[in-house]
Amino acid sequence: MEEKARLANGKKKLGVGRRDRYIKERKVGEGTYAVVYLGRQLSTSRVVAIKKIKVGQFKDGLDMSAIREIKFLSELRHENVIELIDVFISSGTSRSLNLVLEYLSADLEMIIKDRSVVFTAADIKSWMRMTFAGLYHCHRHNVLHRDLKPNNLLLSPSGHLKLADFGLARKQPGPYDVMTPTVVTRWYRAPELLLGSKIYTRKVDVWAVGIIFAELMLRTPYLPGQTDLDQLDLTFRALGTPTEQTWPGVSLLPDFFYDTAKTSTADTGKKSGIYPAPSRDEMRMRFSAASENALDLLCKMTTLDPAKRIDTRDALGSEYFRELPRPTQPDLLPKLRKKDDTANEVKVGSNNTGFSGALRRREKDDISTEAEKERERRLAGVAKRLF
Amino acid sequence: MAANASTPRSGSPSTNPQGPLPAMIQLSRPYLTQNQIWTLEQNVAHTNGSRDQQLKFQAFSVILATGSYLRFPIRTMGTAMVLFQRFYLFNSMQDFPSTLDTAHACLFVASKTEDTLKKLKEILLASYYIKHPSGPDISMDSPIIEDQRRRLISLERHVLETMSFDFRVRHPQPYIIKFAKRLRYPMPLAETAWQIALDSYRTLVPLKCTPHAIALGCLYIAASLLEVNLSDIKPEQFCVRPLEFENVVLELLAFYIDWLPQTTLFATYTDPSKFMSMRIELNKRLGKYTEPRAPALKLRDYTMGDKGTVRYVLNWERERIEREIDMH
């Protein structure tokens, strides 16, 4: 009890349940719709991230991503999915909505970027396995994540990888349900989304994981497009332009403008955006360290036609996860070299973006503005109908 | 400070804003028993039952009209209607007198939870145009809309708190299709059942029964209306408790008998006697229904947030919470 009093002394407390159970320690980051604090569960001294949703400033009430996060995380429980510990409304005049999330100190992007960290094929396999396990759990419960990127794959101090940021997640749609194609950070956006398809499946998540897989092997972003158009060009240059033969129905997609009747030589490729599919040797060159089975899996995950793309279940059962080397045990995985983050001295990332644990969003603004534009467009349509 | 956290707070919040606060755990209750609903209705102290029912139907027609104007799928309107009913079970009409505003707020929340997002202003504008089809055109920035928007933002919060931030959605329609296929019922029968399911949103059935029980109940009524063989419907085969199934059917029949002109089924079936005879038939072979015991509920205290922190939990987390409480 005394220890609790000491901890609580001078710090803002949040009363939950029978007694005050969490204290906010300090602000670690700010997103477009939330402020994230580092906190502690008083009864267990467990470090948590407290995400305080900004309310009242927006003209549309509670943010959709907060709703999505609560909706999906409160029902998903898995070793490889971030845990939503509590939802509560704090007292006082602001009466803000607080989400208590598991605190995770690092993300995969930091590991990839940190040149001093060396990792092996077994490490990559371990991360991939955990990503797929988490994603399989989501998909099995009909949840599409729609925003997978290294930055949203968080790592716990014990080395476990967890999917986070369900702000764009949604339920697997029913037939004829249209969705916006402007989801997923551009570099990880599947071709059907880039081509503007409003009907898509959980395979968009598989594509994103495929690109992350490639990024882990290359240690640099695989398809870093500057604009959406550039992204499309880059994707096709790397994996070939789809045709009606390789992807039935592709020419019916809204933004498909390629004239695939033309011969696809390297010459015309520059002008028309039509590229041949890479040969196996070309792929081997690109990923010199990858085993044949790893390449197989990568190719299946980055198949342009979503219908032919592998699903999470088959991916988990693929040869790649069965061959040697075995995936590294989570606690033996490489970690960022930094101070201990279990005790009082919690150090969060040294990069200048400030916060690096749960809920850092790099390209989020990008997406929200695009979503905003999409909304504006629809709104204009409605207004036209109205007047 | 933390030491006396478990003792009740004596001072007012203004004198001791940082002080220890009483426990407030808001358990999400996706389903209520009939007894719970009765106690809640008594608490609300409805002075005039049929007037309230009229207001409810008015609100439903606003939700349906606005929703179809914005081309929402039916599930969004359905969720909004269920939310609306839940709202006025846990909140009294005196505290929230404008049912129209509440209807808008429920539709707005439903559009968010059902992933059919629209801006609040779009919803309000659509509602305005339905109300004033020939009236003066207003722009999106008009003060009327702006005024309403402000009211709705705070109302949205109340709706969210009433639903305990439980965004799980349940609709009987998918089960209707699946069950109809399994029973090899013809298409028109499934369509009638579908319409009955739409009417079920206007009753308290979605608050009391699980969607697959509702689906089976809808199919049963549709089959009796079309005089198709009913003997195939065996609740046990569809994992539905017989009592729950009978409850759904009786409740829906009662609704049709009392309010037939207000329903979607009225377009094809204008004679309530058909529903009457169905009810009589069913009552003959009905067992005695005993309610499961459940704690009585109180009205939501919407000033709760001023008094302390409120924690929202889903029902299945209950065990964990109770364990935590025991720990202290």
Q: What are the pLDDT digits (tens) for A264-305?
A: 444 444 556 678 888 888 889 888 888 999 999 999 999 999
The partner residue sitting opposite A8, judged by closest CB among B1, B120, B122, is B1
Strand partners, B200: none
Intra-chain end-to-end CA distance of chain A, in Å: 66
The answer as to whether A148 is a domain residue is yes
Query: What integer pLDDT is reported at residue B149 of this predicted model?
Result: 87
B1 — contact with chain A (CB < 8 Å)?
yes
Active site residues of A: 147
Domain boundary among A103, A138, A169: A103
Q: How many CB atoms lie within 10 A of CB A224?
A: 12
Q: Identify the H or E element spanning A303.
A: none
Q: Which of residues 210-249 of B touch A (CB under 8 A)?
A: none
Residue A31 lies in a domain: yes
Round to whole Å and give the CA distance between A225 and A186: 7
Q: Do A10 and A129 belong together in one domain?
A: no
- Write the single-letter amino acid at B169: V
Give the gap in angstroms from C-alpha A342 to the nearest C-alpha of chain B. 23
> Which of A62, A91, A387 shows the shortest C-beta gap to B137?
A387
Give the CATH number of the domain where residue A158 resides. Answer: 1.10.510.10
A267, part of any domain? yes
CB A37 within 8 A of CB A54: no
Alpha helices in A33-155 (DSSP H): 64-73, 108-113, 121-140
- Whether A343 is covered by a domain: the verdict is no
Give the global pTM: 0.80
Domain end point (choices A56, A83, A103): A103
Domain boundary at A50, A68, A103, which?
A103
Q: Is A142 in the B-facing interface, judged by CB distances under 8 Å? A: no
Residues B71-118 pLDDT 10s: 898 889 999 999 999 998 888 888 888 889 999 999 999 999 888 888
Nearest beta carbon to residue A8 from set B2, B70, B120: B2
A98 φ/ψ angles, rounded to the nearest 5 degrees? -120, 135
Instruction: Provide the ipTM.
Output: 0.78
The answer to whether residue A33 scores a pLDDT higher than 80 is no
Judge if A49 and A36 occupy the same domain: yes
Find the DSSP H helices in A86-240. 108-113, 121-140, 191-194, 203-218, 228-239
| CB atoms near residue B318 (< 10 Å) | 13
**Pair (A91, A125) in one structural domain:** no
DSSP state of A370: H
Q: What is the pLDDT of residue A376?
A: 54
Task: Quote the pLDDT of residue B14.
Answer: 33
Structural domains in chain B, CATH included, are 34-162 (1.10.472.10), 173-284 (1.10.472)
Among A96-110, A122-136, B138-152, the range scoring the smallest mean pLDDT is: B138-152
Residues A99 and A179 in one domain: no
pLDDT of res. A260: 59
Element (H, E) at A25: strand A19-30
Minimum-distance CB partner of B305 among A9, A95, A174: A95
Q: Which residues is A101 bridged to in the sheet?
A: A49, A84
How many domains does one find in chain A? 2
A291 located within any domain: yes
pLDDT in tens, B230-262: 777 888 888 888 888 888 998 899 899 888 888
Shared domain for A189 and A307, answered yes or no, is: yes
The verdict on a CB contact (< 8 Å) between A19 and B167 is no
Cα–Cα distance, B321 to A362 (Å, whole number): 36
pLDDT value of residue A338: 59
Nearest-Cα residue of chain A relative to residue B136: A387
Domain membership flag for residue A299:
yes
Per-residue pLDDT reduced to its tens digit, B186-237 = 999 999 999 999 999 999 999 989 999 999 999 999 998 888 877 778 888 8
A118 touches B: beta carbon within 8 Å: no
Residue A27 sits in a domain whose CATH number is 3.30.200.20
- Please identify among residues 58-117 of chain B the ones whose CB lies closer than 8 Å to any CB of chain A: 70, 73, 108, 112-113, 115, 117
Report yes or no on A349 lying in a domain: no
- Same structural domain for residues A93 and A227? no
Q: Which of residues 147-206 of B touch A (CB under 8 A)?
A: 149, 152-153, 156-157, 160-161, 165-168, 174
Does A113 share its domain with A96? Answer: no
pLDDT tens figures, A149-199: 998 999 998 889 999 989 889 888 877 778 888 888 899 999 999 998 888
Give the domain range for residue A27.
Answer: 2-103
Residues A181 and A308 in one domain: yes
Same domain, A118 and A183: yes
pLDDT of residue B288: 60
Answer yes or no: do A7 and A96 share one domain: yes
Report which listed range, A82-96, B6-20, B31-45, B91-105, is most confident. B91-105
Residue A70 lies in a domain: yes
* Contact residues on chain A for B321, CB-CB shorter than 8 A: 17
CB pairs under 8 A between A and B: 133
Q: What is the helix (H) or strand (E) element at residue B44, kind and residue range?
A: helix B34-44
